[in-house]
Each structure stands twice: as structure tokens, then as C-alpha cells.
Amino acid sequence: MSASFAVFDSPRWQGKCPSCGEWNGFVEEKIVAPVSGAPSLRWNSQSKPITLNDISVEQSPRMQTISPEFNRVLGGGIVLGSVVLVGGDPGIGKSTLLLQEAAALSSDSYKVLYVTGEESARQTKIRAERLSLRSDHLYILAETE
């Protein structure tokens, strides 16, 4: 007969069960407490790893932004289908720059998704109004979780 016990207060090995007296009857059980509200992290991609040498490099068309310096930082503009994550110290103008760029690109009939993790949609709208930015093709997604 095997017994299952969670032994938390014994740092040494125990071969004999203190309850039934059986030797070598312990079975380890790992208790994992579920994290409430945490998203499930599963790998559902159908992609397979390939070697670096097998990757084909071709010139990707780039969209020019309204800022020549921003184009330079991006290597010549925004690569279609890419995601750009901009980081930096608070208050240096990241949100302002990107909202201006997004509005300019969306006015050229591109659909642009502006995702913010620090500001609400209302705060983004207030910034856009202060900058006199308008667009029917600029979508805002505010997510703080």
C-alpha cells in the first residue's frame, strides 16, 4: 500500500511512513496552485524552426512616415506587416510621435491600429484633439492588462 503525503517540515529523507509504518511507501505529489485570471500560454503555431542560412532575404517594400528621422531609425520606413515597439523614458514624446505617424499613415487610406498599454482610449483621443489629428481609418486599442 502506498501513501501520499505532503511533507513540508522535514528537510531530511523519510523512508518509513509515520502513519502506517510502511517502508518506502511515499509518493511525491506536486501541488500547483492555479493562478486566477492568468492567461493560458500555449504554443499553437504551425511554424517550424529553420536554420539562419535557409532564410531568404529579399527587399521588403517600406512605407515612408512623415518623419525622415523616424524612417532612418526604422531602416528606411515601416516594413509592411511588421510590428514596431518603441521604448524610452517617460515624457520624451513616444506617444505623441507615434500617434502623429499613425494618423498620417491612416490619412493615406491605410487602416492603422494604434495599440497603447499605458493610456486609455480617452487619453489618446484627448492627445489627438490637442494635436488636431483626425482619421476614419485610425483604430485605437487601449489595453492595460
- Report residue 70's pLDDT band, with 50, 70 and 90 as the boundaries: very high
- pTM beyond 0.85, yes or no: no
Tell me the CB-side half-sphere exposure of residue 71, using CA atoms within 13 A.
11
The yes-or-no verdict on residue 144 having pLDDT over 80 is no
Q: What domains are defined for the chain? A: 1-32 (no CATH), 60-142 (3.40.50.300)
Summarize pLDDT for 80-137 with one digit per residue, the tens: 878 888 889 999 999 999 999 999 989 877 889 999 988 999 999 999 999 999 999 9
How many whole angstroms separate alpha carbon 17 and alpha carbon 97? 67
Summarize pLDDT for 17-30 with one digit per residue, the tens: 777 878 877 777 77
